[in-house]
Structures are given as C-alpha cells and as structure tokens.
Amino acid sequence: MGDMSVEPEEVAAPADDTVLFHSSPMRTFLVMAAAIVVAYVAVSPLVDALLDSADDPWWLTLVQAVVIGGLVAGAFAFSARSSLSTWVRVSSAGLELAAQGSEPVWLAWADIEHVVVRRSGARTLLEVTPVDLDRVHAIEGTNAGGPAMNGTAFTADLTQLWPGPRKLRRELERRMHQEPR
C-alpha cells in the first residue's frame, strides 16, 4: 500500500469549471501560532497578578509567547495525521475527494444522495453519502482504498482546508441545487 495519495495536480479535472479545496499545514501553523501568541500575551498579566510574580519586561513575555506558539502550532500542523493531504474538487461534473492520504474518488452529482459539511468538536467534517457504492469511481486507475467511511458516507477532516470549509459548503450548495436530481 502506498504512503502518498495522488495530488489533484496529477489528475485531469472532470470539467473546466473546477474549484479546488486543498489542505494547508502552513496556513494551519500560522493561524494556530497567532492565536496562541495572542492568548499567551493576554493571559500573562493575569497569571503575573495571581502569582504576584516579578514584573518581566513586555518583550520577554512576547518572546515566550512566540516560542511556545511556534512549538505547539508546529507540533500540531505537522503531526503525522495533519500532514496527510486532503483535497476536494467540485465541478459541474461532480465531486472528487481524497482524504487524509487516501486515494481519490469521484462521484457525479446524480450519484450523491447527501452531502454535508458539519462541526464535530474542534474539527469540521465533510460527509458524502453515495446513492450506491458501485457508483463511486476510483480516479486515474488508483487501487488503494478511498476516503474513510462512517457507515455509508465518505468522511474527510476539513480543518486545514483552504479556502475554508464555509466556502466549500457554499460551493456544494450551489452545485447540488443547480444540477437536476
């Protein structure tokens, strides 16, 4: 079994109007590091007041925040699970999906019973339920398994997807409603 999934650039798009959504560990790192730095800087005066600790210069707190934010965000964004590529490509022809390093699959809109983008704790998930598993097509002759399944639905973690899950939700709603079912 291969350890790398097929990247979207290696696969011919099913239509000219495709919109690509791709995981971005670097974007995740930057957003998470910034959030940790802001939280650290905001909470440090409270901790100093509660512990009645010595007054450190402001720049020392900022340096500590940057180091801790960089380490924690780096560990998360480039961990084994997070570094696995996820991509979704939406077009008038249908939906292509490769999740967490899986081989990609393609479904025509008529082959999709239900598609939803939802929150599960801190994660955002895509669930695609095909009408019938026999109508799911492997892309470009790939033979390793497709995305993970939750019952009858393919699932993908969209937490690191760029552009974000909200934009994917809007694109899916637009495509699902324009195609005759």
Average pLDDT over residues 45-50: 84
Taking each helix axis as running N to C, give the angle between helix 25-51 and helix 58-77, from 0 to 180 degrees, rounded to the nearest 10.
Answer: 140
At 115-151, the pLDDT tens digits run 999 998 878 899 999 999 888 888 765 555 678 888 8
82/12: higher pLDDT: 12
**How big is the chain by its Cα radius of gyration, in Å?**
21
pTM confidence score: 0.72
Torsion of CA 119, 124, 129, 133, to 10 degrees: -140
The domains located in the chain, with CATH, are 15-24+85-178 (2.30.29), 26-77 (no CATH)
